[in-house]
Structure 1
């Protein structure tokens, strides 16, 4: 009766979570527009090398798929390097700085300096010049300004670049700089001017966002006021971008870019596939494309072919090349975000009752207390729901691993029933972990998590702790069957005393070391920023799986977790509990990975679901093959089963 009630609670929570998942799926399906961005400065340089005009080059790239051009803001230092601005400090006028400026630039620069420094500090005056030279003008700044600081000030977007982009029919992304001394008023004026000029998206230059350090909240406020979108570059780690992302309230579009230094190290197919994955797997909607070809008789046409490959690959996945937009919120009532907590509380009691029989009174107390506590925690907001999501990631893989071999401590079966029996228990374990993942989806599916402004917390702990719990249960002999607390406590103490008193054999030490290495590697490679990279061979293997299966399953599921878990269950079915304990413990990595897949809220739900299904199918097939090979080997070596006595207390 206890478990029936827990399954009912879990089913109700899963139903609500699936409803949330459906609403999130609809939000994801509506967000299909992707922009391909070319860098104006790069195109202008290649156009000169090809003997074409910049407008012609931009139109050629537009026909290949480019939708947008990124225009970088110049600094006064850039204009000085171009010989278009000269600085002097007049004698006798100690409190003035004079800029000698080209006539066709003076109006734009004066307006920009008024925005940056304040209108009361700027005066413009024409000066006499020789008719054979370009017309000049003076911009006088009140106060003596240090040359280094003056050179760092923004001079605005080049008007010629804006004109060329519009003539080519392309959208514009502004690449603004940060500079020392940016005031809230200056930030307001700079962003207001962008809005007036029809620019809606901003990708900041360099390693800082505008307003860092001290005025990032002002930047966020004015981005929202002027309806401007922050293009957040993946993995760039610009200073201030996390704070800015939190305060713009979802007015964000993820950007993927490959740095100039990295471009020469990548092949053309690798680059194409990288943009495809960024769009398909991580919700990127602004692809900042660096040109691939830099030499040749017609580099513009050559790069147009390269851009077309990227465009065609993205379109093949069902996306459209058009002006991108921000995600809409997954609009659900507050109670709907809290109800999945009931399922997590039920999962916690399922874990307890899988190893310990508890009285009806104690069960009722624990159920009511746990449910109310988890509901209240979920009601507090995102922080509380992140704690519960972590609890789900710890609980459900552990439950799945224990249910996989529960009540098999003394059972043996015929060879014909081994595969079907092991497959059924493997499916039960996988479904249990998937249930935990669905509850995480119900708890965390919101715009902030989908844009990675906020993220699932405790990813390393979620990988390690379930494996340790499973190992502790097997080492203590309490994982195989449920019993009273007194019996299980006695069994636990006796098992650990025996374990600690036994000498460690060389093969056991080597086996333990190998298991620790496997688990350590899996944990090190977990998370969005793994501590260990992926080898070129594995990258090629992943690419093959992507092509064959459509969605690549996770290596730790199909190649490690499920195969070892299947063989471990099969061993348990044949009474080989020592082998089963080790294999199921290591195989629980696969169950942990299933929940972790759904913890990546920025990955589309369809992709996560297909990845989970593919991982199970491929992993089960490999497990069956591995078991058949191992069974032949065991028969050949005539290794007898161990601990088949149902009264034995040695459940290791």
Structure 2
């Protein structure tokens, strides 16, 4: 960066690390490039609801959806709840209702009223039906799946009664609030609203299975999993149903907050999934970060050697985006699916039909046909097709590779010190040697922790080196503006400086992508940590680097060197009101910038911004980041322009904007679920558009400056 002889050791180590890093990056690219098929699974219950609101039977909808490449329909086990919902003449009565002598309940009990009252508690559930078929289905489901401690058959003749024995932990209460005429809250004791026992699995409905198969689709069987009663008997019966009905699913999508059989019988699940080559379904959370937390799912995924698939479920708020953002149809829902598949390694979409509001479904088949045609065309540009998905090939970066790559981060950090402090050669050599020794030792002791530390270090060090390069170039043209004696040459130098600085940041971004290229990061079982920290610290380092090069109202420095005197001048400066106001603006802008980083943020983009993003997304392979091409990259080019005009204040301000772009490059690659080629293309597009806008901004600045100079000359003539 500065004198090559001075930094020769560090540069050679970085080059060695880049060579090793390249093999890791190509390995990751190969794994991502082989995973190019996405499954579409229809949700049976919601498709059925939509069909009931339409003019067509459910089988018609299934048959027509199969034309889009859809192969599966997700089908849950039947439960007491689902049978009630399907109008199967099944009734679930809470124990406390029986004990209250409710007249309606008495009609179900008949002569058994007194006998039942002696056996029932307020937490139990009495299941009543007059349908022999429903009774036999429930009875067979209970007897095949659960122990006798759970249920008791009270009557199996005419009026069929089954007692499910619950307790306080099965109980569900309704969150009601009460108030008097003065609108003051009144606390009242509540009886249980219902019981979780109505959700226990009873087996699959043969009629639904036949309907799906007759429509030309396959059943994607989903077990119900109420963990307190998920014992070995249930699991064995469930797997037997898979074999009997020939509905072994390609992946398990678990319900509830635990995996099937957790914690005592999860080994049965693991063994069966290994034998049948069933993938683990990792359902992406609604904030699109990580997957839904289910106890035991990470351990199961590791036990199956990462035979897993990322799943995108169309959440209710997405279903309701029909005609959103001035679109005529389901374009915004399509955009959401497109991003999930192309940007987030999702390879199974759990599809639910569109909604006009919270209740009404879109029943115009043409809307679904248009959406799927557009969606398939767009993902084909990335080489992705709709079909039978496969898991990622397992990947783990070897310790030796991680060590050499880590050395590159250490060497870059030492190189960064050279931009802050001149001299101290021996100290830097000592720090370099210590770093080279500590990296392999730390990887040996805490490999997973060291991966994250090294990635975080790369995300801070390389963008800071990039901005140090900018300061070096600005200093050169600040003290020798003759080196840029025309606007054309200034623009050329600005472009070269932007490309060089961004190249340095891009190297750091590849360090992140290589260090954290293990399968757990690609599946987002683990994520890059410290996003906000990696955005903020380089800004502080930029201030220090700027002072090291330009000082604070001091003399020209031959070598970059941050001194105590510079810091004292800055800290004890008399602050003018205008600086306070400008500082407040910077703080607000900084807060918005940091707050919008990440997914769990309350500051959302405006409708206009979302519409602009969608346009870019539709026209380009990867959508460039707005803050890069609109602000940060042109700001870096403007810094060179201001250097030729010898304005330290504007150099500093432009540098603040520029550092945002360099950290953003690293941040782009820290989204590890995003395929590496897509992150690279996003940066290329941002640079291309940013250069064009940077040229425009510089020309406008030149016109403003010349206009102001002309006004000053005219004003001076007027005074004379």
Range into which the TM-score falls when normalised by the shorter chain: 0.7 to 0.9
Deviation at 1:585, TM superposition (A): 2.2
Distance 1:596 1:296 in 2: 39
Q: Does residue 368 of the first structure (1) align with residue 368 of the second (2)?
A: no
1:248 corresponds to: 301
1:272 corresponds to: 334
Distance 1:149 1:297 in 2: 32
**2:282–2:310 Cα contact (<8 Å) kept:** yes
Q: 272-281 or 254-263, which moves further after superposition?
A: 254-263
Matches within 5 A, 1:421-570: 421-475=493-547, 488=561, 492-570=563-641
Distance 1:411 1:301 in 2: 66
Distance 1:192 1:578, change over 3 A: same
Distance 2:619 2:373 in 1: 24
Distance 1:19 1:528, change over 3 A: farther
1:327 corresponds to: 392
Distance 1:392 1:540 in 2: 33
1:411 corresponds to: 480
**For 1:226, what is the secondary structure of its paired residue?**
helix
Deviation at 1:637, TM superposition (A): 2.5
Deviation at 1:38, TM superposition (A): 1.8
Give a deviation string over 1:115-172, Cα, whole Å, max 9, x none: 553267667799455xxxxxx8666768999873432323333332222222223233
2:670 corresponds to: 599
Which residue, 257, 264, 267 being the options, matches 1:209?
257
Q: 60-69 or 261-270, which moves further after superposition?
A: 261-270
Deviation at 1:452, TM superposition (A): 0.8
Distance 1:240 1:297 in 2: 31
**For 1:530, what is the secondary structure of its paired residue?**
coil
2:456 corresponds to: 390
Q: Does residue 166 of the first structure (1) align with residue 235 of the second (2)?
A: no
Deviation at 1:262, TM superposition (A): 4.3
**For 1:356, what is the secondary structure of its paired residue?**
coil
**2:259–2:266 Cα contact (<8 Å) kept:** no
What is the TM-score when the length of structure 2 is the normalising length? 0.78
Q: 497-506 or 179-188, which moves further after superposition?
A: 179-188
**For 1:600, what is the secondary structure of its paired residue?**
coil
Which residue, 334, 340, 343 being the options, matches 2:405?
340
2:379 corresponds to: 314
Distance 1:517 1:623, change over 3 A: farther
Which residue, 228, 232, 238 being the options, matches 2:282?
232
Distance 1:175 1:308, change over 3 A: farther
Distance 1:24 1:149, change over 3 A: closer
Distance 2:413 2:8 in 1: 14
Deviation at 1:598, TM superposition (A): 0.9
Q: Does residue 65 of the first structure (1) align with residue 90 of the second (2)?
A: no
Distance 1:71 1:443, change over 3 A: same
Distance 1:116 1:240, change over 3 A: farther
Deviation at 1:177, TM superposition (A): 4.2
Q: Does residue 584 of the first structure (1) align with residue 655 of the second (2)?
A: yes
Give a deviation string over 1:268-291, Cα, whole Å, max 9, x none: 111112111111111111222222
Deviation at 1:10, TM superposition (A): 0.8
Distance 1:284 1:561 in 2: 31
Distance 1:72 1:127, change over 3 A: closer
1:644 corresponds to: none
**2:495–2:637 Cα contact (<8 Å) kept:** yes
**1:293–1:302 Cα contact (<8 Å) kept:** no
CA RMSD of the aligned region, Å? 3.4
Which residue, 130, 133, 138 being the options, matches 1:104?
133
**For 2:320, what is the secondary structure of its paired residue?**
helix
Q: Does residue 10 of the first structure (1) align with residue 14 of the second (2)?
A: yes
Q: 105-114 or 410-419, which moves further after superposition?
A: 105-114
Distance 1:12 1:193, change over 3 A: farther
Which residue, 31, 39, 46 being the options, matches 1:27?
31
2:102 corresponds to: none
Give a deviation string over 1:65-101, Cα, whole Å, max 9, x none: 3222122333213324534435678544755887556
**For 1:253, what is the secondary structure of its paired residue?**
strand
Distance 1:398 1:121, change over 3 A: closer
Mind listing any 5+ residue stretches in structure 1 that lack a counterpart?
A: 130-135, 640-652
Distance 1:548 1:78 in 2: 45
1:648 corresponds to: none
Distance 2:292 2:46 in 1: 25
Mind listing any 5+ residue stretches in structure 2 that lack a counterpart?
A: 93-107, 172-193, 324-329, 711-720
Distance 1:467 1:190 in 2: 60
**2:331–2:371 Cα contact (<8 Å) kept:** no
Distance 1:398 1:195, change over 3 A: farther
Deviation at 1:418, TM superposition (A): 1.4
Distance 1:448 1:359 in 2: 41
Distance 1:470 1:176 in 2: 55
Distance 2:403 2:367 in 1: 54
**1:562–1:616 Cα contact (<8 Å) kept:** yes
Distance 1:617 1:562 in 2: 10
**For 1:236, what is the secondary structure of its paired residue?**
coil
Distance 2:396 2:691 in 1: 38
2:468 corresponds to: 402
Deviation at 1:562, TM superposition (A): 0.7
Distance 1:626 1:300 in 2: 48
What is the TM-score when the length of structure 1 is the normalising length? 0.86
Which residue, 408, 412, 416 being the options, matches 1:351?
416
Distance 1:470 1:40 in 2: 55
Count matched residues: 625
**For 2:346, what is the secondary structure of its paired residue?**
coil
**For 1:527, what is the secondary structure of its paired residue?**
coil
**1:66–1:307 Cα contact (<8 Å) kept:** no
Distance 1:287 1:117, change over 3 A: same
Distance 1:14 1:382, change over 3 A: same
